[in-house]
Amino acid sequence: MNNLELERARAELKAIGADFALLSSGDNVTYVSHFEVPVNFGALETLSFAPSLALVGVREASATLLVGNFYQGWAEQQSADFNVVSYEPVNWFEPVNGRENFLGRLREMLRQAGLNGSSATLAVEEKTLPAVVLRLLMEEFPQVRLVEAGDALAAARMIKTARELELLRFAAEVNKAGHTELLRQTREAGKNEFVMWAAVINAMELKAGHPLMVFGELVTGARCKMVAYPGGPKDVTTKAGDLALMDMSPRVNGYWSDTTNTMVVGGVAATAKQKLYGVAAREAFHAAAEMLRPGRQAKDAYLAAEATFEKHGLKIGHYAGHQIGVAVNEAPRLVPYDETPIRAGMVFSIEPGAYEGPNGDSGARMEKSVIVHESGPEIICDFEWGF
C-alpha cells in the first residue's frame, strides 16, 4: 500500500540527518502508520505499559509498530507499510511482567533495525518519549545519537495529502450533522443542555457509523459572555432569547474536525447586542478565510479578523484559528506574529470570537474549516450560521 504520509515524514527526517525515528505521540504514530492510535482514555489504554510506538527507517524501507496485544488486530487492519509487533502487558489468568515484555519487544526491534553498537542518529519526541524508553536507549544503545523529531514531523504534516483531505472532509460532514442537530434543538426553548448535547453526539455517531471521541463544549445564556473551560454542557434549561454556543471537535478515523456556531434559542429575534456579536464573528470568519490564499501569511488571517471586530467596535477575544489534521490544533496558528506562508493543501479551522466579559451577558464565536487551494479557500463543514 502506498503511504504518502510516511514518505513525507521520511523526507523531513532525512533533512535533519536522522537515520531512524522512534515516534511516541499518538498524533505522529497515527500520521505515519494510518493506525488510529486510541486517545489516552479507557481501560485498554490504562492497561498498556507504554504508548504505541513507531520505529521508522529513514534511509531504508523498514517500519514497525509496537502495540499492546489487544491493539494488534486493529493495527494490522489499519496500518499501511508497517510490520506490527505486540507485547503482553497483562494476563487475567497468570501473572506477567508487562514492563519486561514491552522492553523485550522494543529491544528486539531496535536490534533488528541494526542500532545495536551503531552510531546512527535516532529522532525521538522529547515531549512524549517514556522515561523507560530513554533509559533503555542510554544504557543499551549508548552510541546512538538522539535528535528531536517534532519539527520534522510538523513540517511533514503541514500540507495535507489527498488521503488526508478525504478524511478531513468526512470528519467535517460528521461535525456538520451535529451542528445541524443543534440548530434543530434550539428552535424551541425549555430544553436541558445535557439533552441537547446527547442529541448532537447521537447525530454525529449515526453519521460516522461508530462511536466517537469528542472534545468540545455547549454553553447557553449568559455563559456565552466569556471563554471558560470547562464550560458545559451543564444541568441548565434554556429560555427563549438565550444565546447558545457550541464548539464541537469529533475525532473520526484518526482525523479531527473543529467547528463552532452561535445562535439564539427559541425562534425569537436576537437583541441588538446579540446581533452585534454574532454578525461581527461571522464577518470576521469570512474576512480571515479570504486571507488564506497562497502567498499570504498566517498572521494576515488574524489581522483581517481583528480589523473586522474593530469595525464593529469590538475586540477580538483570542487567536483566529489553527490548522487541523491528526491533531485538533496544529501549526501554523492564526496569531498576529506567525509569518508562516500559506500554501495550497493546508486545512485551517478559523474561529474568531468576541465576548462581553465577566460583567456582560453576550458573546459569539463562529468557526468552520477551510481547505486552501491555489484559487482560494474552500469551506468544508458548511452548516447554517446562527447569525
> What pLDDT is attached to residue 206?
98
pLDDT, average across residues 290-302: 98
Spacing of C-alpha 41 from chain mean position:
16
If asked whether residues 272 and 315 sit together in one domain, one would say yes
Number of domains in the chain: 2
Checking if the pLDDT of 42 tops 90, the result is no
pLDDT, average across residues 186-204: 98
How many helices, marked H, and strands, marked E, lie in the chain?
11, 17
Checking if the pLDDT of 187 tops 80, the result is yes
Span 196-243, pLDDT tens digits = 999 999 999 999 999 999 999 999 999 999 998 888 999 999 999 999
DSSP conformation class of 246: E
Structural domain range at position 76? 4-157
Distance CA 157, CA 9 (A): 8
Query: Looking at the domain assignment, is residue 387 inside a domain?
Result: no
Tell me, what CATH number does 113's domain have? Answer: 3.40.350.10
Checking if the pLDDT of 29 tops 70, the result is yes
If asked whether residues 271 and 286 sit together in one domain, one would say yes
Checking if the pLDDT of 263 tops 90, the result is yes
Angle of CA points 346, 348, 351, to nearest 5°: 165
How many CA atoms, within 13 angstroms, populate the side-chain half-sphere of residue 50?
27
If asked whether residues 139 and 200 sit together in one domain, one would say no
Query: Looking at the domain assignment, is residue 292 inside a domain?
Result: yes
Percentage above 70 pLDDT, the chain: 100
pLDDT, average across residues 354-371: 97
Question: Mean pLDDT score of the chain, rounded to an integer?
Answer: 97
Are 320 and 311 contacting, i.e. CB atoms less than 8 angstroms apart?
no
If asked whether residues 91 and 67 sit together in one domain, one would say yes
Q: What single-letter amino acid sits at 299?
A: K
User: How sure is the predictor about 1, in pLDDT bands with cuts at 50, 70 and 90?
Assistant: low
Checking if the pLDDT of 103 tops 70, the result is yes
> What pLDDT is attached to residue 340?
98
Spacing of C-alpha 317 from chain mean position:
21
